[in-house]
Structure 1
Amino acid sequence: MVDNQLGEFLRARRASVRPEQIGLVSYGRRRVAGLRREEVAEAAGMSADYYTHLERGRERRPSAQMLEALSRTLLLSDGLREHLYRLAGVVPVSRPVETVDPVLRQMLENYSAAPAFVMNSAMDILATNAMAEAFFSAYPRIDNLARMTFLEPVSREFCVDWVWTCQAMVAGFRQAGALYPDSERLRGVIDELLTASTEFAEIWHSYTLCAATTDPREFVHPEVGLLRLRYRSFDVREAQGQRLMLYQPEPGATVEALARMAGSVTASRS
């Protein structure tokens, strides 16, 4: 007997989904539980013959695009989606995660030495510690790091090497685009910046990429003055697309400046 785990999985999942769950209207008496093959094919944007071949084992190597469409149609959880990809012998396409784990949020809050925050592949800032809020206090909103850098006038004074910072962010977007090609949020931010920022468009279209560096970066904070900070970026293992950004002060005046910033944070909370 020919092994056909992919087809068996698709049949089982098809039987568990009701038409109304994916926006279909069911007419008359149904001879099968769940969805018909033709309904799955139509909802997933493929021919009925092709889907039938998948279930019967005549087609065993669907593309990642086909698998993603089937995952949405069959309402697969993240775990079942990964299982479907494995059955088809395809590496799962990563999906960015937009919520921050409560434990990580607590760790951020407990880190009071310097600014720290979590952002996603589109550079949306998802969570901050109190020092990060104070660090970015000159900005009207702390929402998306790229939008803040390119669209807020204060950024040119805040970031001493503003041009390098802009180039680094464009490089980050290009890397994220390769990792998450189907991210609507990522495409949306890039499209917005291409329209709203001449500088972003010039860097994006010129393919000017900055070299990675661990050198400290300088910032001018409106209350505590010049800050020289090193930063490290860590992938959040449990959440695809999220990165934890941690800053550390250079010895000397920056340590004292951050201590004054921490004092103002404490005073504002008391």
Structure 2
Amino acid sequence: MDDLGDLGAFLQSRRAQVTPASVGVAVGARRRVSGLRREELAQLAGMSVDYYTRLEQGRATQPSEHVLDALSRALRLDQAARAHLHRLARLGSRRPPLTHYPAEVRPQLRQVLDAMPGFPALIINHRVDMLAYNRPAGTLYCDLDSMPAAERNLARMIFLDAERCGTYFDGESCREDTVAHLRQAAGEFPDDAELAALIGELSMGSRRFSELWGAARVRVRSHGPKRFRHPLIGVITLHQERFVLPDGSGQELITLTPEPGSADEDSLRLLANLDATPASGPTAATTTGRPGA
């Protein structure tokens, strides 16, 4: 696992994923590497091999916007990965790092959850800890109230505890999205020791996580369909919207709504009726560390 805020490691990982044929680089029959060599990428980006090597080795700091854009084009980065590259390059000149990332959810946000009794809604942070959720969300994710607060983390559930509840129907797509989200968070919150510990734990505990992390893909999925598999109602498709809070806390509000008048709406209503636990409003879960912390 590379350092969370390591520009060089990110460049090296993405360079290894670009095939010479995809960028018009001719190769010989005895070539041993599948990705681009440093000199090939430097030529594509219009810079010297020495300068690119110093960037990858961390000996060159604060590259210009022009250099970053040239590298983005040469590496065929999409918009999310390009923004991540620029964030990594700015780490040396950013504002002083936060030393505390709040796990508390403001009372006003809990009121928002309480005002959404008809569909799942939850608050997560940049580590995908589930900080608070309403009753439909707790039921959809297989009775979150029965899980210790420190273990209510979407990444742990997906990679380390899939047998507890195969919540996501499109499992591989969800795994890819989750790793891409954490990679994005690593660029935004490189000083978060708990995020580093989580990524280390997932890398040691899940071979698939380690493979996806090594691919260094960055993606932010703000909205779109999500399919869930629940043991009581089967497969249900909901529309996800993610709202990033503007206070810099890394917290997001996620809503999951069915298509009006659809069978999914009926399934969600059925799930609510099957839930025998009395409604008690939104549930707060302070996740301040690893399981058992």
Which runs of 5 or more residues in structure 2 are unaligned? 1-92, 280-293
Q: 3-state SS of the aligned residue for 1:226?
A: strand
User: How far apart, CA to CA, are the structure 1 residues paired with 2:108 and 2:174?
Assistant: 30
Partner of 2:263: 253
Partner of 1:186: 195
Q: CA deviation at 1:157?
A: 3.7
Are the aligned partners of 1:155 and 1:162 in contact in 2 as well (CA < 8 Å)? no
User: How far apart, CA to CA, are the structure 1 residues paired with 2:277 and 2:227?
Assistant: 25
Q: Deviations over 1:189-211 (max 9, x none)?
A: 10100000111001011234568
TM-score w.r.t. the length of structure 1 is 0.61
1:104 alignment partner AA: L
Q: Does 1:136 align with 2:145?
A: no
User: How far apart, CA to CA, are the structure 1 residues paired with 2:135 and 2:143?
Assistant: 14
2:226 alignment partner AA: R
Are the aligned partners of 2:183 and 2:217 in contact in 1 as well (CA < 8 Å)? no
Partner of 1:114: 119
Q: CA deviation at 1:219?
A: 1.1
More displaced 10-residue stretch of structure 1: 247-256 or 131-140? 131-140
Tell me which of 151, 156, 173 is aligned to 1:147.
156
User: How far apart, CA to CA, are the structure 1 residues paired with 2:137 and 2:228?
Assistant: 13
More displaced 10-residue stretch of structure 1: 171-180 or 104-113? 104-113
Matches within 5 A, 1:45-194: 91-94=95-98, 96-137=101-142, 141=147, 143-154=152-163, 157-194=166-203
Q: CA deviation at 1:239?
A: 5.5
1:167 alignment partner AA: E
Are the aligned partners of 2:184 and 2:219 in contact in 1 as well (CA < 8 Å)? no
Q: 3-state SS of the aligned residue for 1:268?
A: coil
Q: Deviations over 1:175-226 (max 9, x none)?
A: 1111111011111110100000111001011234568474412111111221
User: How far apart, CA to CA, are the structure 1 residues paired with 2:196 and 2:214?
Assistant: 15
Identity of aligned residues (%): 30
Q: 3-state SS of the aligned residue for 1:232?
A: strand
Are the aligned partners of 2:121 and 2:256 in contact in 1 as well (CA < 8 Å)? yes
Q: 3-state SS of the aligned residue for 1:241?
A: coil
Are the aligned partners of 2:142 and 2:165 in contact in 1 as well (CA < 8 Å)? no
Q: CA deviation at 1:174?
A: 0.9
Cα RMSD (Å) of the superposition? 2.4
TM-score w.r.t. the length of structure 2 is 0.56
Q: 3-state SS of the aligned residue for 1:201?
A: helix
Greater RCO structure (CA 8 Å; 6+ sep): 2
Partner of 2:225: 216
User: How far apart, CA to CA, are the structure 2 residues paired with 1:180 and 1:213?
Assistant: 19
More displaced 10-residue stretch of structure 1: 154-163 or 109-118? 154-163
User: How far apart, CA to CA, are the structure 2 residues paired with 1:103 and 1:175?
Assistant: 27
Q: 3-state SS of the aligned residue for 1:269?
A: coil
Which runs of 5 or more residues in structure 1 are unaligned? 1-88
Q: 3-state SS of the aligned residue for 1:91?
A: coil
2:134 alignment partner AA: N
